[in-house]
Amino acid sequence: MADDTLRLPRTLVNQLLRQAQRAAGLSQGFVLRDRHGRYQCEPIAANADLRLAALQARAHAPLAFYRSSNAPLSPLADAQTAALASCTRLSLDIALDTKGVLQLRGWRLANGHATPLEVAITESAQSDFS
């Protein structure tokens, strides 16, 4: 994997899309892996304090934070990025304001900053969350 490419299995991308489509506005949560290696999307409240949510999620070793909206998403604030980086190294944005095209953006979280990543959808059941 190139350092700037995140490969996600289609099954996880489909779960993220379904989760996003269920919410009327902002949807957010964490991507976890269960003991059988299956991915799960665990939503949190749209108005959740991300610092507190990250502290609680840390016990589950989340693979990524995700959020989606039917309106353009603004970048995470530095404080939000720092809070999320305390429990996961990746963030995913899903835009539903596009017609017929899934817009999925990835970000590597480190040192209080979010660095953009290319996202590739694979047929493999494994991801390279790193």
The residue-averaged pLDDT of 17-38 equals 87
Of 91 and 127, the structure prediction assigns the larger pLDDT to 91
In a domain, 56, yes or no: yes
Number of domains in the chain: 1
Which structural domain, as residue segments, surrounds residue 74?
5-122
In a domain, 49, yes or no: yes
In a domain, 60, yes or no: yes
* Residues forming beta bridges with residue 33, ordered by sequence position: 39
Of 4 and 24, the structure prediction assigns the larger pLDDT to 4
In a domain, 21, yes or no: yes
Side chain identity, residue 3: D
In a domain, 66, yes or no: yes
In a domain, 128, yes or no: no
CATH number, domain with residue 48 = 3.40.140.10
Interval 38-90: pLDDT, tens: 899 999 999 999 999 999 999 999 999 999 988 888 888 888 999 999 999 99
Of 20 and 106, the structure prediction assigns the larger pLDDT to 106
In a domain, 100, yes or no: yes
pLDDT at 1: 42
In a domain, 127, yes or no: no
In this structure, which long-range contacts are made by residues 91-95, counting pairs with CB atoms below 8 Å and at least 24 apart in sequence?
91/64, 91/65, 91/66, 91/67, 92/16, 92/31, 92/64, 92/65, 92/66, 92/67, 92/119, 93/66, 93/67, 93/68, 94/16, 94/17, 94/20, 94/66, 94/67, 94/68, 94/69, 95/68, 95/69
